[in-house]
Structure 1
Amino acid sequence: MLNANGLPQQLLVVGGGSDLAVAIIERLATDGPLERVALAGPRPATLERARDRIREHLDEVATFHLDLADPRAVPSDLEPALEWLGSVDAVLVAAGVLPDQHAAEADPAIVANAFAVNATGPAVALSVLADRLERAGTGQLIVLSSVAATVVRRRSYVYDASKAALDRFALGLADRLEPAVGVHIVRPMFVTTRMTEGLERPPLALSPEQVARATIAGIQARQRVIWVPRAAALGVMVLSVLPRTVLRRLPI
């Protein structure tokens, strides 16, 4: 169950090998009531690395296969993790891929995979898990989105648009589920992780630990949308009123 501050004891992670997911779990295990975690993802080695790191803070951590690139298999893939947990207080959706934009423009299969992993697969998982939490009348969905989901850019429109699809899906899900089930959509700016290795690092790049702290604070404050940093909301507001002809010329 969730504690008085809205933090979970039992957590299912979709995209359990994510650096952001691990940072959030470590924070929950250190400062919250977290007792058991199920890590679900497609790559055993990545999941095992995450599991070993989390076990420095928490004993009950297990890994399970989940391939979001095959959305039709997601409901059955989730069953072993749900059975192991028994009950689920919260779900953290942290899966994602960042495709090379130029490669995606030349290969529709890359576009299809990006939308499957970043949007369709997570949306199917959220649908399955939302039904479960709604029947229980309590729980929490935490969706790691991105500031990029709010401003689709020429240089990365495949990634941005796929994240935007999940972001909007989560907003609709929040309208359906709240207040019984809390929905928290986390929109960080650029985060230094394995996924962003090789990319030019902006001056205000965030660490996974910074995002984790802001996420926990936002959950405790019952915020539906958690901007990281908070000032990002103002920046997006300004960008949203600019004509596309101006926006596409900006170095963002």
Structure 2
Amino acid sequence: MAETKPGNLGAYDLKDRVAVITGGSSGIGAAIARRMAEAGAVVAIGYNAGAERAAALARELPGSGHIALQTPMEDSAALKRAAAEVEARLGRCDVLVNSAATTRAVPHADLEALDDALIDRVLVANVRGPFATIRAFAPLLKRSGDAVIVNISSLAAITGTGSSIIYGASKAALDTIGVSLARVLGPDGIRVVGISPSAVATDFVPGRSREAVEKQAATSPLRTVTEADDVALAVMAAVTQLRLTTGTVILVDGGKHL
């Protein structure tokens, strides 16, 4: 269990720490990987199908020891093997970022278009997968004694908007999981924080253009597009600075929720 002396509450130093980032080979995950590596962490870049992309990013990151790590959200046994691989190759895990997710744009009013197959795929990837990842890495995180789990959520969890009804629902479930796990893992020295962006300028949602993201951003108070690096910076703040923050969700939305 982590000590609670006041002198222990300074900035969290990432030098020689190990960060595992699911969905780390592109978009938000890749931006987080770059920020973590720049701060001195050794990064395991989780991927599903993007093995070459993850390996290329691992070679490009500053520092050394970075690895590509297969973390398929639908395969709990593979996630346990991934945790074992991190332990064998890197020896520890101090930061776990759940960035892997999936979606497909479905108009909310078109109930028939939201078919069972898509519902199941989104719930497995966005809910069961992150929980199974946390479950697999929990022993390593507990061993750290001062660890952080960050779940990449979405403003859709709060507003009920987003690419589809089931996507927003899946992220709301992830937020609730974060609250529960913050309560039970806190005594083991593990914080759990959600980062909830509005529409981000990546290719995450198939068919969504930069113009569409800019149009959404124009309706927010700050009128600024949320970039992948904006989310990465919020993750860095949650990990390294917000030492007493756990069981909550931080919005990165330019005030869109207002």
TM-score by length of 2: 0.78
CA distance in 1, matches of 2:236, 2:46: 21
Q: How does 1:1-252 map to 2 (within 5 A)?
A: 4-8=10-14, 9-30=17-38, 32-34=39-41, 36-43=42-49, 44-53=51-60, 55=61, 57-101=62-106, 105=113, 107-153=115-161, 156-178=164-186, 180-196=189-205, 198-199=207-208, 200-201=212-213, 202-203=216-217, 204-219=224-239, 220-222=241-243, 223-224=245-246, 225-229=249-253, 231-232=255-256, 235=258
Contact 1:39/1:61 (8 A) holds in 2? yes
In 2, are the aligned partners of 1:139 and 1:182 still within 8 Å (CA)? yes
Aligned equivalents of 1:89 and 1:116: distance in 2? 25
Q: Percent identity?
A: 24
Task: Using the TM superposition, give the Cα deviation of residue 15 of structure 1 relative to its aligned residue in structure 2, in angstroms.
Answer: 1.8
User: How much does 1:207 deviate?
Assistant: 0.7
Q: Secondary structure at the match of 1:40?
A: strand
User: Which structure 1 residue ranges, 5 or more long, are not aligned?
Assistant: 236-252
RMSD value, Cα: 2.7
Per-residue deviation at 1:33?
2.9
Deviation digits for residues 31-81 of structure 1, max 9, x if unmatched?
Answer: x232x111122111332343244x2x2322111222112335432343223
The DSSP-based 3-state class of the residue aligned with 1:196 is coil
Cα shift at 1:129: 1.8
Cα 1:105–1:198, aligned 2, differ >3 Å: closer, same or farther?
Answer: closer
May I ask how many residue pairs the two structures share in their alignment? 230
Note closer, same or farther for the CA distance 1:198–1:52 as it changes in structure 2 (3 Å cut).
Answer: farther
Does the 8 Å contact 2:153/2:197 carry over to 1? yes
> CA separation in 1, counterparts of 2:172 and 2:100?
14
- Consecutive unaligned residues of structure 2, counting only runs of 5 or more, are 1-7, 218-223
8 Å CA contact retained: 1:66, 1:78: no
Distance in 1 (CA, whole Å) between partners of 2:162 and 2:27 is 26
Structure having the higher helix fraction is 1
8 Å contact 1:101–1:158 — kept in the other structure?
no
Q: Deviations for 1:142-191, whole angstroms, at most 9, x for unmatched residues? A: 11111112222386101111111112101111111226212121111111
Alpha-carbon spacing, 1:155–1:100, altered in 2? closer, same or farther (3 Å): closer
